[in-house]
Amino acid sequence: MFNRNRCLRQLAAITSITLVAGCGVLSSGSSDDEGPIVVGTTSAPSTLDPAASWDGSWELFRNIYQTLLGYPTGSVTPKPDAAKSCGFTDGSNRTYRCVLRPDMKFSDGDPLDARAVKHSIDRIRKIGVRGGPAGLLGSLDRVQALSEREVVFHLNKPDATFPFVLATPAMSIVDPDDYPADALRKDNKVFGSGPYSLRSYKEGQQAELVRNDHYDGFAERKNNAVTIRYFPSSAQMVKALRDKKIDVTYRGLAAADIVTLRGRGSKSELQLIDGTGTEISYLVFNPKDKWAGKLAVRQAIAQIVDRPAITHKVYKGTVDPLYSMVPAGLIGHTTVYFDDYGRPSGPKARKILRDAGINERVPLTLWYTTDRYGSETAPEFRELKSQLEGSGLFTVTLKSRPWKTYEAGYRDGEYPVFGRGWFPDFPDAENFIAPFVGQQNALGTPYPASRITDDLLPESRGVSDRAAVVKEFEEAQQILVDDARLLPLWQGRQYVAANEEISGAERALDPSTIMTMWELHRKTSW
């Protein structure tokens, strides 16, 4: 997690735009007769209930729910949204107090008060979805609603990063009358207080967002409505963009489509925004599996995997090799996997296995999801299979599932080795370490790492200046490499394609690379 005083590389935008006759200028709003801005993505929500989600569902949540804190455009530190003010009230970073804006309401007109905030946070922990957002609340002891507008968070240990946790969409505020304290809501309805209301939702197909007239927060909406369409592939999404059936693509552009759009340059009627990103892709090894549970097997795989081959052959240079779970650009990033293993080497991998008494080919099943991380996922796993089998040390079987059943499978411990992607809750080194370790984590598989969970993370959370805890993060990354239960593969960038009539896309990605739909708008003529 990050903090106020550090310097963070901002999301950069390089935009190629073709201007048509009439010279477009930017509009500050959208008239009712223009219709909604239509956004395409390949990342569909897995749930509409914030208490269940620690995944890409947040992309929708950011726009239909509200959190106490959020990220106004251009900010890399949380600012009050549903809250009027927030801050630590003690010098030890253990008591955090927020005062809500007056007369807050949910989209259906029900009051949003401190009781609703307490209810929303408490139910996350009470329901305790495995692999869900309760893992973000490890430092929280209790929530206290002191009055209608005042809520206090009592922490069980110092945590300078707690404001950033409150700014994640997992901490969305929900109506106590509509969301049970001890069960998830499953009727695909939403009553939030965000910039938009969810007018209709068809799972896996589309979400229709309309302006929430009860919203009171920092978002300045530059459109009246947004429709999000969910596509099974980049090719179908880009075709819809070229056919002007959608206005913007958000997440899931395939490398080949990016290369094509980039290559057309000023001749294209589409614009491509290329932004800094902290998305990562990695492999997870199940310690209960007969073979993946062996350290020597994991180390041998780490010695064989050729990241540059993956990034160039599969992703056409649109992503970068990654040698640590903490991506480049964040304070504390290292290249520890490269430092320990160097370049890919079959002979070195063979020695690792032979020294551990493993002399036969190791049978492994690698799992991936078909509809979460983009069209290159299947080719990426075919490349991994080719690399591992090419060493003569492994026999690899590939299997896949759609995300909803895939997610259930890894939480149930079905997969020996499986692929995951990670979009940050917030861009800080802690957020690429803490979610994956401990008894309850984002992987649904316990990963006891006491030195990290009991010492390094608590030490770092007590320090407001994040540049002062680099050594703690470096040691944590070394522990992850020594265990080799997580194998980073590549770091992505954020690409947004839009037709020439759309503005605001370069401003719409917040520090956790979630699209804030309210920034999108159409140009108007002179």
CA distance 434 to 442: 9
Per-residue pLDDT at 265: 56
- When comparing pLDDT for 374 and 498, which is higher? 498
Per-residue pLDDT at 427: 73
Q: Is the pLDDT of residue 5 over 60?
A: no
Q: What is the dihedral of CA 435, 438, 440, 443, to 10 degrees?
A: 50
Per-residue pLDDT at 264: 66
| Start-to-end CA span in the chain (Å) | 44
Report the candidate in 108, 120, 111 with the shortest Cα–Cα distance to residue 199.
108
| Residue given tokens 């929530």 in the structure block | 143
Q: Is the pLDDT of residue 277 over 90?
A: no
DSSP 8-state secondary structure symbol assigned to residue 208? E
- Buried b vs exposed e over 293-326: b needs ≥16 C-beta within 10 Å? ebebbbbbbbbbbbbeebbeebbbebbbbbbbbb
Per-residue pLDDT at 32: 46
Q: pLDDT-derived band of residue 74, with 50, 70 and 90 as boundaries?
A: confident
State pTM to two decimals.
Answer: 0.77
Lowest mean pLDDT segment, chosen from 19-28, 108-117, 240-249, 458-467:
19-28
Per-residue pLDDT at 4: 29
Lowest mean pLDDT segment, chosen from 298-307, 360-369, 445-454:
445-454
Q: pLDDT-derived band of residue 71, with 50, 70 and 90 as boundaries?
A: very high
Lowest mean pLDDT segment, chosen from 4-13, 60-69, 167-176, 184-193:
4-13
- When comparing pLDDT for 465 and 10, which is higher? 465
Q: pLDDT-derived band of residue 200, with 50, 70 and 90 as boundaries?
A: very high
Q: pLDDT-derived band of residue 1, with 50, 70 and 90 as boundaries?
A: very low
Per-residue pLDDT at 75: 84
Lowest mean pLDDT segment, chosen from 179-193, 206-220, 419-433:
419-433
Q: Is the pLDDT of residue 27 over 60?
A: no
Per-residue pLDDT at 267: 59
The mean of the pLDDT values for the chain is: 89
Q: Across residues 497-520, what is the average pLDDT?
A: 91
CA distance 492 to 276: 8
Q: Is the pLDDT of residue 174 over 60?
A: yes
pLDDT tens profile 212-234: 999 999 999 999 999 999 998 89
Q: Is the pLDDT of residue 109 over 50?
A: yes
pLDDT tens profile 124-158: 999 999 878 998 898 999 999 999 999 999 999 99
